Every structure is written in C-alpha cells, then in structure tokens.
Amino acid sequence: MTTRGKIVIGLLLVAALYFGINKLVSSGAVFKKAETQSVMLNSIELPAATGGSRATIVVPLAPLPGTAPADKGTPVVWEVMAWNSQMAGMLANGGPRSTMGSSMAANGLDLQIVRQDDVSKMQADLVKNALDLQNNPETPGLIVSIMGDGLPAFSAVQTQLQKAGTSLQIIPYSVGKSFGEDKLMGPKEWLDNPKTALGKTIACYLRDGDQNIALKWCADNGLKVNPDETTYDPEAVNFMAASDFLVAAEKYILGKPEARTKVVNGKNTGVSVDVVADAVATWTPGDVNIAKQRGGLVNIVSTKDYSNQMPNIMVTTKRWYDAHPKEVLGLMTGFAVASDQVKAHPEALARAADISATVYGDQDKPGAYWLKYYKGVSEADRDGNVVELGGSKAFNFSDNLNLFGLDEGGTNIYAAVYKTFGDVQSKLYPKELSSYVPLDQMLDLTPLKKLQAQYKGKAVAPAETQQFAADDEIRRSVSKRAWNIEFNSGKSTFTPPPSANSTSCLTTWW
C-alpha cells in the first residue's frame, strides 16, 4: 500500500473513532445518572379572584403628606426591593422616614424604608433583628417585603429564627401586586412555537416569583425543565442563576457564557458546553434595561397574564408581631388610607412615585420614571420590537379582603398561591427546600378581621376587578398544550389515557 493510501486510511479511522466516541458520549450510555433530573411539571393552576359587591365610592383627595420627619411614634424598619407594587406604602410614609401629615405618623409609627434587593440579606437581617429584640425589646422591629409566591422558599429562614427563639410572621395586609411588571422575556419565536425554548437558558433569581412565572409557562406548554443551574439539558428549558433581578437582566445584556456539563436522557455525559442567557425572568428596571441596552426579547408571559400570582407580602418576626398588636393594626390602617388615595387621585400617585425615587436612590430614575412604569407602557426596544414594560397595582382594604378570602363568598387566594408554588419549588429543589413552613403557622388574619369589623356597614372603596371590553381582540397566545379527553360511550367515566400522537389542543389566549 502506498504512503498516501496509508494516510487516507489513518484519517478515516481517526474520523470514525472521533465521531463514534462523540456519539457514545452524547447518548449517555456509558456515563452515570445525573444528580438532578429534568422534570415535566403538571399544570400549575392559579385561583381566580372572587368577592362580594360593594358600593362604588370615590375617596376624596386628602392633603398630601409633608416632607419634614415626624420624629415621633414607634420606630420600625421596612426593607423593600425596588418594586412598584409598594406605591401605597410610599405615600403612607411620606418619605424614606415617616413625615408630618403622613398616615403612618397619624397611626403612631415612625417607619424607615430601606431598599434591599438581596433576598438572602433580608433573611439574615430578620435573624439579626430577632436576636437584637431578644436582648433589647426596645429595638426597632424589622419588616421585609417579598413576592408572595416566593415566600415558601424564603421560609427556609425559619430554622435560624427558631434558634433565636421565634419564627416568621406575615403582616396580614398587602400593599399591592405585580401586574405585568414581572415577566418572562424571550425570543419572539417562543410566542409562536413554545417548543423552540427547549435547549435554551433563562436567567433569573432562583426559587422566587420570577422563576415561578417561567415554570408556570413551561408547565402550561408541556415543556420539560432542568432545575439544575450547573448542567445543560438540550431537551429541556434550563436556568441560569442570578443574585438578583437586575443581575439576571445583566447576564442577557452582556451575553457572557457559562460552562455547563451536558446531560442527555438524565445522564451526565461529562461533555462541557458553553451556554448564554437566551431569555430572562425579571422586573422593572430589569425589563427596561434589556429593552434599552440590548433589545431582541419580547414578553412571553407576565403577571398581567397570571394576575393573582404575585402579591407583595410583608413578613416580620413573631417576637415583634406579638409584642406590637397596636402597631400592626396602625401599619395596616395607614396603608389602607394611602392606597385609596393612590388608586383614586393622580396627584397622590405622582407623589408616591417621587417618594419611591428617593427611597430607591437611582440618580437616573426620577419620580416620573417610576410613575411611568407603575402604569405600564409599550415601547420599542433597540431592535424596534414593541415590548410591554412595567405594570403594578396598589391594593386597598377591599383588595385585601379579596386576597385573604374575607370577602363574602370568597376564598383565600393567597393561601392557594402559596401552596401551589411551594409544592412546585419543593419538588424541583428537594435539597434546598425539602419542606416549607405551612401558611397557617405564619398567617394570622385577626387584625384584618378587626379592621373588617370596624368598617362593617360603611361604604368603602371597592376592590379592583379586571375589565374586559366587548371589542377586545385576541392579542397573543399565552400557552398551548395537547389534550385528548374522551368519555366512555354512554358513561360519565373517562377513556384510558391518550396515545402519544394525540392531536387535540387547548390554547389559552391573551
């Protein structure tokens, strides 16, 4: 055989060996089972709002709070993320610290609002406050605001609080909710064909509300999810961990790759691949930053679609809560008074936005910025795609009766949301969240029922309801999934499960 022939045969053998090994590696046949398996979630159902009818009244415009600190009342610290659902709380306080003429000062509170975007820091601060209160009962109490559907994971701090001799306690009043602000942003083709999201990666803060939006969308569309942020599954939707919602947006904007181990059919192949953030679950200003700084993503689904998913829930320690029933009631009353003003009067809302700008402290984001994105707008991104940005709502007293099921004929919406996402996150992350605190161990509705009794027989501002116009057009599909539900002939029982090639389809539209 000639030298040239030997070289050709050698090259062919090398090529065959290379592709054969690569195929074997990809099949996962010779590698151990991955530590975390990708999961096909069942449908994630959210409750619908219910409630009795009330007299529709417009609360008259009250004098706006002053700007000078009130310098009186029981001191309390309220840690908040930069989140527009807190507009009513901002107006209630009059500034970063309770001001003269504010509803907080009128109800005997000296509230200091502090921005804190780091959930783990909030947890650590609650533990520290519990210990400080144990040593000195005069220590100012601490309240933190988080996404209500993220509380199951947040409740992991319970172990540390119990060591400090106390536990988590919910303030039974919500100042508002996300209504479009929190969203999954992804490539436009995901809207037309959700299956194109398989093998892609979503950046977000894990085990919290924004990831829950993505998880529900995946469940609605029959997409497998890979909860392990250290591996890559080409047949599932993957996640990229971010330390907070702004970092999640930044990971997409910068496009920096992360090395992952490839998993195929549940087995670790040992092959390393680079992945980038193809999509993001975030909220304002994260969504605005994506649109303005890079573009290329559209709204796939948001809390406007899942409108009951994400109330703003305040938690504190049982040690402070039990020792301050008067202050708890005063806090709720102050929020209730301010929320009616924010919902009814543009002047009050504008003032709340200015206070938000001062509290959040971003020099390039004045009150007009927070006001604009509280209302929600549609704007063109850098690529010319029109994207919905922002969107939150303030909750008043009536909204809270709806949320916690105290309205006539109502159900506890928040209890359903809490359990729904607690079960989902516990299933996906058994190591990090082997269990979560039952809601009834943290939620005491007595103060809200006391307010309800005080208002009984009086006309109060109604809860907000979703409005639909007769000429509303179908704008986009939210979810698509194949179903085939058949009854046995002449009976009320179902036939056996459908075959894999079923073609029946149920589509949810928005």
CA distances from 386 to 148, 278, 296, 380 (A): 29, 18, 10, 4
Going residue by residue through the chain, which has 510 residues, state the pLDDT in tens, using 9 for 90 and above: 666 555 656 555 545 554 554 554 444 444 567 677 899 888 788 887 554 444 457 789 999 999 999 999 999 999 999 999 999 999 999 999 999 999 999 999 999 999 999 999 999 999 999 999 999 999 999 999 999 999 999 999 999 999 999 999 999 999 999 999 999 999 999 999 999 999 999 999 999 999 999 999 999 999 999 999 999 999 999 999 999 999 999 999 999 999 999 999 999 999 999 999 999 999 999 999 999 999 999 999 999 999 999 999 999 999 999 999 999 999 999 999 999 999 999 999 999 999 999 999 999 999 999 999 999 999 999 999 999 999 999 999 999 999 999 988 789 999 999 999 999 999 999 999 999 999 999 999 999 999 999 887 666 777 776 554 444 444 455 555 444 445 455 554 555 544 433 333 333 333
* 222 burial type by CB count under 10 A (0-12 exposed, 13-18 middle, 19+ buried): middle
Dist CA 86 CA 133 (whole Å): 26
Residue 307, Cα to own-chain centre: how many angstroms? Answer: 11
Q: Indicate the DSSP class of residue 254.
A: H
CB 34 within 8 A of CB 236: no
Helix (H, G, I), strand (E, B) or coil at 473: coil
> b vs e for 21-54, b when ≥16 Cβ sit within 10 Å of the residue's Cβ?
eeeebeebeebeebebbbbebeebebbebebeee
Choose among 420, 306, 307: nearest CA to 41: 420
Tokens matching residue 323: 């020792």
pTM comes to: 0.85
